Structure formats: structure tokens, C-alpha cells
Amino acid sequence: MKGEQKLISVIVTAYNRKQYLPYALRSLEAQTLPRDRFEVIVVKNFEDPASDEIIRRNGWKFVYSDESHQSRFLLAGLEEARGDVVTFLDDDDMYCRERLEEIYKAFTKYSNIVYFHNNFWIVDQNDNKIRPDSPLRNSQETDLIISTSKLRQPVANVGLCRWEYLALLRQDVWGNVAKNSSSIAVSRLVIDSFKPQIGPVNLGIDDAFFVYSLLTDGYLYITLRPLTHYRVHWESFDYRISSQRSKAFNPSALLQEARETLRLASTYNKLAKILPTECECNTYKVGSTGELLHLYIMPLTEVNRLEPMISLSEMISFMKCSSLRSHIQGKGFRYYAYAMLRLALPVLLHAMGSAHLKRLAYITASSLNVSG
């Protein structure tokens, strides 16, 4: 019911990484929301005196898991969660002091909220702010509350759902509503409805929770206020985007990236299949193909041995959808040509099998964001 007191479950996950966890936990100690309105469950696979002391003195719950699979690691915490609302905190991120209070206000004021997302500050390894991820300039908009049933509706003759059509038109508002799990909160209804689907997701859990919420009747609550510190550092997943050039000559790093690329392509493919069929040019269908194309140009012997994973019809669909999405954004012929480059370059180089050309193309394509 509206106004009824709720409990928020905060699930903190830390796998093989101790360095930043105490900072994440201290950000929870500093929350302005009264302690009786949230619980904390920490899932990790190690002991650490600094973190363990924070967990002990606050009476928080600790769950040990050595499961390397991302969503199954998270499920160990979900099994213990009692909250009406579930939110997440990666070990290397931090909450602003008022984040849980803002989540509590949103879910209490509007009883049918199924998904909450806040903007976030991108910070470096020393917590120095680099920038807010998606600043909304020259506008008074701060909070948006939108029906999921309306967002699921297809836009006539476009091949996109309404939510994504809006995202392409207003990247400043919608560009990152599925990004960074530490900036997401979902209702218990979403967790219970999609629990079987959560388990197979091995990367991209933030995208998965967004899609599951979109498919649940209710409302999305999007705030442009930055309430999370999203840390980018040498161990983080997003760091690979900013270090492609140096890794082009590092086989072990490339193998790790290839594995992550395959996992992300798999997640995107799963999500694309459960979205309405009328939304055929959705970001996850395009993204799945794009990730596989990116894989093809990696200068790795293992990649050269792969059987083709993209059919001709999928490549044609990728080209059509990429050009359509660029057209909606008003980017014209240059971006249509760019979409064709994204399609042709990886496939041709994979077929040619030239290690030197692939190495050069990998560096070039990384700067062009071929898989994006």
C-alpha cells in the first residue's frame, strides 16, 4: 500500500577483490535512512579484517560464495533478502549518503514502482570525480515516472519499442537507464517473477534487471540526480574500453576480453528474445551481433578457429537496424556508412585470417567503438 513502511535489501557483492570493499561498506554506514528500514547482505569469497569488522559491528549478514558466475553469485544474496525492494552495490562502488532514503521515498510514495535508476558520478580509483555520467543540461527535469506498459508499445513501422525510441531521441535522459547495477533498485515482484531467468545471466545483470522490470506492469522511476559513485579502475569491466590499444598486444588480456564478449553477447541474445517481437531493432539484438563482430577482429589464434556465429540474415538485420537507429538520431549518411563499416570490417578480416591486419583493425575499431 502507498505510504506503508518498507524494507530495502542491499546486496553487496565482492569476488576476489578486497581493496575497495571497506569504502563501499562505509558508504552504507553513512546512509541517512534509518537503520530499521534497510538490511545489508554481503556476498564474498574471501576474509578481510577491515570489511569483516564493519559487517560485524553493524550486525549485517555475510554469505560466503565461491561461485564465479555473476548472477549465481548474486542469487546467493537474493536467497537471504527479505526486503520489499532490492538494490545492489558492487564492491568497488559507493552510495551517496541520501541514496537509500531517495529509494525509500520513491517506493513508498508510489506503490507500483518496479524499477528505480539514479544517475551516477564516474570516479577514479582514488574516488576523484571525473564527471556525472549523464548530465541533463539546460533542463528542469530531474525525476521521470513512466508506465512500463506504455514503454513496451512498439512505434509503428520503426521496429523499436517506445522506450528505446525515446532513448535514441533523448540520450541525455535515457542513455544509461540500464547501466551500473549499483544505481538500480527493483521491486520484490520483479525478483520473484524472473528468478529462473536470472540464473543463466553471466554478465550484464544490470541490463537484465532493466528488461525484467520493463516486462513487469508498473512504473519506472528515473532520477537524473547522481546518487552513486561508479568507480572505473584497472580491474573494472569498463576499463577495457579505455585500454584497448595497449591490450591489442596482450594475449592473456585479450582472451579475458573474448570470454567477456561472448558472455555479454549471450546475455543480450537472451534479453532480445523476451522483448516484444515488433521491437526487432532493439538494442540487445543489435548489441548481441555487435559483440560477436567485435570478437571476430580480435588478433587471437583461438578466434580464427571459431566457426561463424552470425548468419547472413543476422548480418543484414544488424546493418538495417544500425542504419535505422542512426537515422532516428538524425545522423545521416555518414553514420549509415559507419554502420556498414561496423558490419563489414570484422567479417572480412576474420575471413582473411591475417594476424597483422587483424591487430591493426582491432586497434582502429576499438577507437571507433565497433561493438557499441
40-81 per-position pLDDT tens digit: 999 999 999 999 999 999 999 999 998 877 788 899 999 999
Strands (DSSP E) contained in the chain are 8-14, 38-44, 61-64, 85-90, 94-95, 113-123, 129-132, 143-147, 154-155, 160-161, 184-187, 219-231
pLDDT of residue 339: 56
Q: Which three cell numbers stand for residue 77?
A: 544474496
Instruction: From residue 323, give the alpha-carbon distance in Å to each of 97, 282, 331, 336.
Output: 43, 13, 9, 5
Distance of CA 147 to the CA centre of its chain: 21
Q: At 121, give phi and psi (nearest 5°).
A: -85, 135
pLDDT tens by residue, 175-184 = 678 889 999 9
Instruction: Return left, alpha or beta for 332; rule: phi > 0 is left, psi -120 to 50 is alpha, else beta.
Output: left
Could you tell me the maximum CA-CA distance found in the chain, to the nearest angstrom?
A: 64
Question: Could you tell me the pTM of the whole model?
Answer: 0.86
Q: At 264, give phi and psi (nearest 5°).
A: -70, -40
Q: Read off the DSSP letter of residue 243.
A: T
Give the mean pLDDT of the chain. 82
Angle, helix 49-58 to helix 21-29, in steps of 10 degrees: 20
Give the bridge partners for 39, in sequence order: 9
| Positions of CATH 3.90.550.10 in the chain | 8-231
State whether CATH 3.90.550.10 applies to domain 8-231.
yes
Query: Which residue in the block uniquely carries the three cell numbers 536470472?
Result: 198
pLDDT of residue 357: 54
Q: At 184, give phi and psi (nearest 5°).
A: -120, 145
Nearest to 271 by CA among 344, 163, 357: 163
Stretch 333-347: mean pLDDT: 59
